Amino acid sequence: MYQEVCDNIENLVVEPKVKREEPTTVLKISNLNVNLPNHPILKNINLEVQENKITVLLGPSGCGKTTLLKSINRLTSLTPELKVTGKILIEGEDVLNGRTNIPELRQKMGLLSQRPFPLPFSIYKNIAYGLKLKGVRDKNLIEYNVEKRLREVGLWNEVKDRLNTPASSLSIGQQQRLCLARGLAVKPKIILADEPTSALDPTSSKTIECLLKELKKHYTIILVTHVLRQAVRLADHVVFMYYGEIIEQGEPQELFKHPKTEKLRNYLIDGN
Amino acid sequence: MNFSRVIYNKFLSSWMRISITVIILIPFAIGIALLLKSLPIIRSDSIFNLVGSGKWAPSEGKFGFRPYILSSVYVTLFSFLFAAPVSFLSAIYLTQFARGRLIKLVYPVIDILAGIPSVIYGVWGVLVIVPFISGFVAPVFNTSSSGFTILAGGIVLAVMCIPYMLNMLLEVLKTVPTGLKEATLSLGATNWETTKHVVLRNCFSGVVSSFGLGITKAFGETLAVMMVVGNTVHISFNPLQSGYPLPALIANNYGEMLSIPLYDSALMFAALLLMTIILVINLFFRFLMYRAVNQ
């Protein structure tokens, strides 16, 4: 009964998701250029991201994948030297040019970084923090959400007896799942995952991969990786990048079986 | 292995060990020397009397250090009140909000401020702060003042401490990983919320220790304060009156009037007191840091 009530209250906070038959474009990037003074990082990026799919940005280190990801939620503004031009539309709203409320915009996207950065709070507060920023004050709703998100990432049973201990006391794999749960708590549209398994052991990596597969039912995921096998395992759509450019993109089966360009072919050979 | 390389390695490591031993021994050596030198006065009177008494009349054999200790505490307190918020807010602004050009301008200025000799701050205090207090501040409170006051000492000391404290705070705030800031911003926090909730919390112990080290520096600073604080022995809690901090007592009088019995020992006792107080402040802030880290 209580859960039902809470779900209803939640739906008041954020509109419920309506399942659609046709794949919808959640994010559209056109003519995106990112430059450092005298040094281009991203060149003329055009990309459409479909709802409830895992779009994998694949490419060697330093090819601009992370910069592309950070342009999407405007974290590029932390580096004032970066000049970002072009258009990024999320649900029709222009991220770069419009009069965007940036904190609100960022809440549409949960970020999962290369290594976990738990906030210097308790496990409970790590998840509650985003909700509080959203203006949720109801203690019961927050409590319900904390449990729900921790269950969603399979962490609840491991931490339910020590919710008030510092998040830093968790293992690195648990911390990464906590960071995922924290991102989910603000009900994002998109999950931006920047090589989320690169600092993790194989078991924790597998857990995260399974979670991402599960989460795509409810969220759109953009995953940055340089690991070919991870792309094969997870991708619905692969975008291959090389030195700041999108070289090829398409369905993974097609792209990996019949690469059109020499660069991707070489990358596939090196990756195997 | 080549014999000469073994010898060279041994020589270098023993040399390093000697250097570090010297560094560790110096404070102990100073402490012991001061203690030995102040033994005559400690034997002549109880420490409580020396520290607690307000009467300073060396020719009568009366050595009460209370006015000096209170002056020191008072000047330090004022300087901290001025310097801490300015350094703290500047450090936050420079690390969290400021853009390229301003940062490029500010860092050299801080270095220049930190490198100015204290006598110059003293002269600046005498030429600017002292007349400002006697001409503007005192009339506001309906009193007259020569300007050579605790307040002047506090202001000059604050200006001296700002670059020192600011440098430490900047180093501390820079240690916060960008990833942590990005994580907080991604949750929808504004820059200020990120700073307040996460950045400052993350380096709380560092901020506390920067303040602590700033206070100890202010407490021991001698020359510039001595030039503007008035140097008269009396107890007053009015910042528009003069004061006489401990370091000024030692610097002004050592080497003079040594014919007075116990005077030399009294000055050494003042130095010992100064060192002890600084040690206590240091330990206190270390304790706060320890608690913050282990919470």
Tens digits of per-residue pLDDT, A76-109? 988 888 899 999 998 888 888 766 788 888 999 9
CB contact under 8 A, A133 and B100: no
Mean pLDDT computed over B84-107: 90
Which residues on neighbouring strands pair with residue A246, listed in sequence order?
A241
Which of B175, B181, B187, B205 to probe by mutation at the A interface, max A CB count within 10 Å?
B187
- A186 and chain B: CB distance < 8 Å anywhere? yes
Mean pLDDT computed over A34-47: 91
Which of A119, A149, A180 to probe by mutation at the B interface, max B CB count within 10 Å?
A119
Residue A23 within a domain: no
Residues B170 and B210 in one domain: yes
Q: Residue B259: is its pLDDT beyond 90?
A: no
Residues B82 and B193 in one domain: yes
Task: Give, for A43, the enclosing helix (H) or strand (E).
Answer: strand A39-50
> Which segment of A58-67, A86-95, A195-204, B249-258 scores lowest on mean pLDDT?
B249-258
Q: Residue B103: is its pLDDT beyond 90?
A: no
CB contact under 8 A, B180 and A119: yes
CB contact under 8 A, A130 and B188: yes
- A134 and chain B: CB distance < 8 Å anywhere? yes
Residues from chain A contacting residue B184 (CB–CB below 8 Å)? 119
Helix axis angle for A172-185 and A139-152, nearest 10°, is 130
**N-terminal to C-terminal alpha carbon distance within chain A:** 52
CB contact under 8 A, B186 and A134: no
Query: Could you report the per-residue pLDDT of A48-66, keeping only the tens digit for each?
Result: 999 999 999 998 888 899 9
pLDDT of residue B238: 83
d(CA B89, CA A87): 36
Count up the domains in chain B and report the number.
2
pLDDT confidence bin for B231, thresholds 50/70/90: confident
Q: Residue A122: is its pLDDT beyond 50?
A: yes
Residues B191 and B289 in one domain: yes
Residue A31 within a domain: no
Residues B42 and B56 in one domain: no
Count up the domains in chain A and report the number.
1
CB contact under 8 A, A117 and B202: no
Helices (H) and strands (E) in chain A, counts: 11, 10
Query: Could you report the per-residue pLDDT of B203-213, keeping only the tens digit for each?
Result: 888 899 899 98
pLDDT of residue A11: 52
pLDDT of residue B52: 85
Tokens encoding A240: 């291959």
DSSP string, A85-152: EEEEEETTEETTTS---HHHHHTTEEEE-SS----SSBHHHHHHHHHHHTT---HHHHHHHHHHHHHH
Residues B76 and B200 in one domain: yes
CB nearest to B100's CB, from A70, A81, A107: A81
Residue A127 within a domain: yes
Range of the domain at A147: 119-187
Residues B130 and B19 in one domain: no
Residues B36 and B178 in one domain: no
CB contact under 8 A, A80 and B182: no
Mean pLDDT computed over B191-211: 91
CB contact under 8 A, B187 and A183: yes
Tell me the average pLDDT of chain A. 87
Query: Could you report the per-residue pLDDT of B25-71, keeping only the tens digit for each?
Result: 999 999 999 999 999 999 888 888 888 888 888 888 888 899 999 99
CB contact under 8 A, A129 and B185: no
Contact by Cβ (8 Å): B150, B229? yes
Q: Residue A221: is its pLDDT beyond 80?
A: yes
pLDDT of residue B1: 64
Q: Residue A12: is its pLDDT beyond 50?
A: no
CB contact under 8 A, B177 and A106: no
- A163 and chain B: CB distance < 8 Å anywhere? no
Contact by Cβ (8 Å): A41, A67? yes
Q: Residue A266: is its pLDDT beyond 60?
A: yes
Range of the domain at B20: 3-46
Residue A16 within a domain: no
Sign, CA torsion A182/A183/A184/A187: positive
Query: Could you report the per-residue pLDDT of A137-178, keeping only the tens digit for each?
Result: 999 999 999 999 999 888 999 999 999 999 999 999 999 999
pLDDT confidence bin for B197, thresholds 50/70/90: very high
Residues B30 and B145 in one domain: no
CA-to-CA separations, B268 to B56, B58, B132, in angstroms, rounded: 15, 14, 35
Which of A76, A129, A224 to probe by mutation at the B interface, max B CB count within 10 Å?
A129
pLDDT of residue A5: 45
pLDDT confidence bin for A7, thresholds 50/70/90: low
Cβ atoms within 10 Å, residue A200: 21
pLDDT of residue A86: 92
Collapsing DSSP to helix, strand or coil, A30 comes out as strand
